[in-house]
């Protein structure tokens, strides 16, 4: 498939987010959030809502994070959720996350699927539970082996179809995090042309199923400089590269330039405010 770089994705918003996983302790997480919020505050163009930042810290940090982020354009997310309220020791109910101000929740991350044995049926239960609680499921999908964009798009499409149990109305309320398993934790992200090809093929399948315009963001060693090279992607899901909040700010600048229709070759500067 042929693509022209930097074309807008069907989604009208560009999402830029980051999960801290378990890398930061409680105090370090708060310090990181304060510095990341400074990066957001110095970019008042974010208030227009064309670029939407989100952060996903560890569970114990969520109450403090909700307080820090109050009144900012940053959405708060959670790294996982249970599949129901009730007698489930050690789980966290989506209803409680909603009480804390959580707006989106990661479900089906490759690490959860592999190391915690979360199968498609469990992912589907969690997606439905999060949606019932009014939280956007951030559904993580991706193929294990790279090299064939058509095969990768088929794998991802089937993961989405399974996660909503064929309910495409529900699918329309998801945000998709496309994270090729082989690219997670790698030194470099997947090739931009490959990612764009997979996402364009996936979008064609989703449109045929009745879920056009679904936000599809890329994750998997994502870092500054990647977003302007992608075609049809709705944003980036950052990892360790955003542990330096300045890198998060750089990606926000790239997203703001794209959202305003600036050519991607225009250099983004720290704190740059678009007119």
What residues form DSSP beta bridges with 53? Answer: 16
Query: Is 215 within 8 Å of 175 (Cβ atoms)?
Result: yes
CA distance 268 to 134: 35
Q: Clarify whether 111 is annotated catalytic.
A: no
Query: Is 170 within 8 Å of 164 (Cβ atoms)?
Result: yes
CA distance 49 to 18: 18
CA angle, residues 113, 204, 144, in degrees to nearest 5? 25
Q: Clarify whether 34 is annotated catalytic.
A: no
Active-site residue, from 106, 161, 179, 254: 179
What are the tokens at 9?
A: 């994705």
Active-site residue, from 39, 106, 109, 254: 109
Decide: helix, strand or coil at residue 273: coil
| Residues that are catalytic | 109, 179
């Amino acid at each position: 498939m042929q693509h022209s770089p930097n074309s807008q994705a069907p989604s009208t918003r560009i999402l830029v987010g980051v999960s801290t996983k378990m890398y930061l302790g409680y105090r370090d997480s708060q310090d990181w959030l304060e510095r990341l919020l400074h990066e957001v505050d110095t970019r008042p163009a974010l208030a227009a809502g064309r670029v939407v930042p989100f952060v996903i810290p560890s569970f114990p940090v969520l109450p403090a994070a909700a307080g820090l982020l109050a009144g900012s354009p940053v959405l708060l997310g959670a790294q996982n959720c249970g599949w129901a309220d009730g007698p489930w020791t050690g789980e966290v109910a989506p209803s409680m996350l909603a009480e804390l101000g959580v707006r989106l929740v990661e479900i089906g991350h490759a690490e959860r699927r592999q190391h915690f044995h979360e199968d498609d049926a469990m992912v589907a239960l969690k997606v439905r539970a999060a949606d019932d609680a009014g939280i956007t499921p951030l559904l993580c999908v991706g193929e294990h082996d790279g090299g064939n964009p058509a095969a990768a798009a088929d794998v991802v499409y089937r993961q989405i179809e399974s996660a909503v149990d064929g309910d495409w109305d529900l699918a329309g309320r998801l945000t998709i995090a496309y994270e090729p398993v082989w690219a997670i934790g790698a030194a470099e992200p997947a090739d931009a042309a490959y990612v764009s090809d997979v996402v364009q093929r996936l979008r064609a399948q989703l449109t045929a199923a009745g879920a056009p315009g679904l936000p599809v963001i890329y994750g998997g060693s994502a870092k500054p400089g990647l977003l302007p090279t992608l075609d049809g992607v709705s944003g980036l899901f950052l990892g360790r590269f955003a542990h330096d909040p300045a890198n998060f700010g750089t990606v926000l600048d790239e997203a703001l330039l794209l959202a305003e229709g600036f050519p991607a070759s225009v250099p983004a500067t720290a704190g740059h405010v678009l007119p």
